[in-house]
Structure 1
């Protein structure tokens, strides 16, 4: 199946999820996310606001702020096809509607360079068993991750995991993928742990 077809199929499946399943998945994924040693060690995180029935991230954002971690969220430029990590202090007060209505930090929130981020939570429409993902096709996260040494953690529902998404050379690989049922750990995590 071509990438655009994959995106459409899995977006439809996600949008059809009942609210109770979405809420349960958010709680379960958050518990597994907090169990990662890399999360406990991380000082600066790039998280994201769940949108259009993505796995909920509200608990992860709120708990990370409460623990005193530096929490950045992406501000997206569709013209440049890139994201800027901007630090927030109060959730959701520091947010405004961004492109497509996705909540993002106010322009007055300070930016943080990609190289200063310890852990990135990565959204997507489809993920595979090799650690690759399909997003919405803008390439924003791949560009950002190519400049960051951060640990990369995908968040997904179990049905979003397939064998192969057909990764291309510019696609950035995840270190972990968390679904409600398990944590997938990919080979590159050893490389990341040795350099960190």
Structure 2
């Protein structure tokens, strides 16, 4: 089995595990992750934050985004612009978002671009990750391409119950600096 097949199999297994998580656990885990994120030195010192906009099955990032905006930080969120290619655009709140590709909220067209070199800290999604900072994404390669030359600090957020000891990776997979779980 090659790495691509290993990832596909692990992604399918993990999605089943995610579906089995209790609502109580996910709410409690998300609350703990939020507290850890907003208390990180890198987050507190950042003037420009890049954060994904969560879907229903992901860790809820709305509180993180609203905390950052309320703290006077500039907040950028991803916008898919092509196959495996995304940009980061600044939002002023959830009213700056519209339905985008893959059922994910993304910035409206009038939202200004934030260049990678302006970003201080980024919160990255995953299906699963290991404690070394390797993540299993959704398979589109958007984040690995975007983060390939990034100079800012990155943190992946993941519920403890869906972390894995082993995440298959190859040379194009970008290792994330920090792993934040509910533990």
Does the 8 A contact of 1:130 with 1:164 survive in 2?
Answer: no
**Which fold has the larger relative contact order, with Cα–Cα distance below 8 Å and residues 6 or more apart in sequence?**
2
Map 1:14-93 to 2 at 5 A.
14-77=18-81, 79-90=82-93, 92-93=94-95
In structure 1, how many angstroms separate the alpha carbons of the residues matched to 2:27 and 2:8?
Answer: 27
**Aligned with 1:156 (options 144, 155, 158):** 158
**Aligned with 2:97 (options 95, 98, 108):** 95
Cα deviation for residue 21 of structure 1 reads 2.1
Runs of 4+ in 1 over 6 A off after TM superposition: none
Tell me the TM-score normalised to structure 1 length. 0.87
Find the counterpart in structure 1 of residue 123 from structure 2: 121
CA offsets per residue over residues 66-104 of structure 1, 9 Å max, x none?
A: 000000010113x331111000012x1111011121111
Gaps of at least 5 residues in structure 2 are none
Secondary structure in structure 2 of the residue aligned to 1:167: coil
Cα deviation for residue 23 of structure 1 reads 1.8
Q: How many residues align?
A: 179
Find the counterpart in structure 1 of residue 7 from structure 2: 3
In structure 2, how many angstroms separate the alpha carbons of the residues matched to 1:38 and 1:131?
Answer: 16
Find the counterpart in structure 1 of residue 108 from structure 2: 106
Tell me the TM-score normalised to structure 2 length. 0.93
Does the 8 A contact of 1:124 with 1:134 survive in 2?
Answer: yes
In structure 1, how many angstroms separate the alpha carbons of the residues matched to 2:103 and 2:163?
Answer: 26
